[in-house]
Structure 1
Amino acid sequence: MGKKRDLNGLPNVLEQQFFSTLFYWKEGYMADWIWNAANELEISDIEIDILRGTTQPSELQIEPITANLERLRTTIQNTLAGTKFELDYITEAKFEIYISQRHKASKLFTCKCTTQDKLGNTYEGKLYTEQAYEDNFQVFRSNLFKKIQQRLKI
């Protein structure tokens, strides 16, 4: 079994990889998809569970955001194998994302990745500030009923 200190940097690696230019999906990078989807739904707090491939709130569980999570799981597996840990040693890996109203004009949000091992040890990454770069685009198709509701403020 490896040394726990070898896993200290894993959360930062996952976050840097997820928000890198390697994780592009059709119209934008992960920051763009998260930014646009969250703003359309007026959501400011997001959690992405890397191992389970889920998001909270579940409305953000869309293919552009979840499709690359498998690559992050592979990164976890490779890190564990390379540091002589069992492949199931990491039991939790999550991104906690917060979009502040104060930085909305700059398209900035914060993200922190946290992992946990099967002994209960927690590994916290740095708090990163990410920026959406691409022009805003529509993530969700709006239907006529929803548009009417918005106009009437029902």
Structure 2
Amino acid sequence: MSRSKIILSGSMLIMLLLSLFIIRIPTIQVDYSDSRFYLKDDRFDLGWIHSVEKEPWFESYERNEDALLLTSTKFKTFGAGVPSSAQVTKSDDGFVHMIVNEPIDELLLAVSRNVQTTMYTENNQIALYELVDDYDTVFIHVERVSLWNLLRGEKID
């Protein structure tokens, strides 16, 4: 191999390695305690048992550029926390469905075994209440993460 081909190959390798640190991808990041994981999906649902009504409640989120978008919510009974300006849609599953489409910079969730806060992705169910002590906070937000961190970090399907 000629010297110029070796230099070219080495330069390309250096550029490839540098791109692992320079290129940043918007990714849904979940921070808790001293840990974190990244979602492979650009959308997820949160579910929990409402503390007063004792009925299930679900919210659907998706990544919208560098923020989260609360797209919809569904619940069994009206009570504390019900959106006042969202559009109600018809359903036959026993839930009240509402279209919300509200941008959210960051979710701060107080998680407990009592309400069983759970994250649902396309391929996984993540019991957030099992990751932290009762009433600890879980932060969910969009972060621009380097390819290197995505490759070495924990990802959830």
Pairwise TM-score range, normalised by the shorter structure? under 0.3
* Structure with higher helix content: 1
* Structure with higher strand content: 2
Which has the greater radius of gyration? Answer: 2
| Length-normalised TM-score, structure 1 | 0.26
| Length-normalised TM-score, structure 2 | 0.26
